[in-house]
Structure 1
Amino acid sequence: MDSIYLMGIASRRADWLSNRQTVIAENVANANTPGYTSKDIKPFSDVMNTTRLEMEASSPMHLVSAGGRSVDVDETKENAWDVLHSGNSVSLEQEMLKAGEVQRDYSLNTSIVKAFNRMLLTTVKG
């Protein structure tokens, strides 16, 4: 059985969020650059799909595989809202929404790590 390390996953998520924030900052910095095209990075779910983590259960009733879902999840590619006549496709409103998502996700990630840390400390203390 391969172990799943929550701290390692949280660390990868924090690195991904940091990289996404950097790309968003580059987009905002180039908002007035003629011909600049807005950029974004691959979703974190795609990054995690490359790690090939496998779930394991002690009973077949504990976990349902991805094939057991009743609804398929569709992902759509995000397009720029406006493309200016200068060829620039950066929308400051869209970039600020992305920055808000990054901040919210980072706060959630930090809260999960803190909760896991408290759980570990409680276990160690007895």
Structure 2
Amino acid sequence: MEPVYFMKLASKHQDWLAAREATIAQNVANANTPGYRAKDVESFSALFDKAHIQMRSTQAGHMTASAAVKQGQVVEKKDSWDVTYSGNSVSLEQEMMKANEVARSHALTTNLMKSMHSMMLLSTKVQ
């Protein structure tokens, strides 16, 4: 039986969420520090894309990853931070929205891990 990589991926996602949460907390803590620039971490999907995971083909006629068309829209990165007269670019509203997004992602990933664990337990249950 091959190892299940879903749990490792979910664990890495939780680690990334923890790093993002720490960055958000640092931004909030420095909201009144003159000259402080708000920070954020690179998106998890960008980090995942850099991993260069190769799919295994079991049949010669299967499509390769390079033949697949990437779907999705291109989002232009804009500097949305309003810089105050003190040079601080932290927006508490944006940081709270990010914190809420991280909390929802934590809950979703945790629930997915619980479901996967339950499925593994059911598959090994002796009748």
- TM bucket by the smaller chain? 0.7 to 0.9
Letter in structure 2 aligned against 1:36? Y
Counterpart check, 1:27 vs 2:27: yes
Go from structure 1 to structure 2 and tell me whether the alpha carbon gap of 1:26 and 1:123 turns closer, same or farther (over 3 Å shift).
Answer: same
Distance 1:66 1:97 in 2: 36
What is the TM-score of this pair, normalised by structure 2?
A: 0.84
* Residue aligning to 1:76: 76
Aligned residues: 124
The aligned residue for residue 101 of structure 1 is 101
Partner Cα distance (2:33, 2:103) in 1:
26
Q: Give percent identity, aligned residues only.
A: 41
Counterpart of 2:15 in structure 1 is 15
What is the TM-score when the length of structure 1 is the normalising length?
0.84
User: 1:57, CA displacement in angstroms?
Assistant: 5.6
Per the TM alignment, residue 51 of structure 1 is displaced from its structure 2 partner at its CA by 2.0
Per-residue deviation at 1:82? 1.3
Q: Distance in 1 between matches of 2:94 and 2:66?
A: 32
Residue 88 of structure 1 corresponds to 88
Sort the Cα spacing of 1:64 and 1:112 in 2 relative to 1 into closer, same or farther, 3 A: farther
Q: Which runs of 5+ in 1 are unaligned?
A: none
Distance 1:117 1:124, change over 3 A: same
Whole-Å separation in 1 of the counterparts to 2:82 and 2:25: 18
CA distance in 1, matches of 2:67, 2:105: 27
CA distance in structure 2 between the partners assigned to 1:30 and 1:80 by the alignment: 18
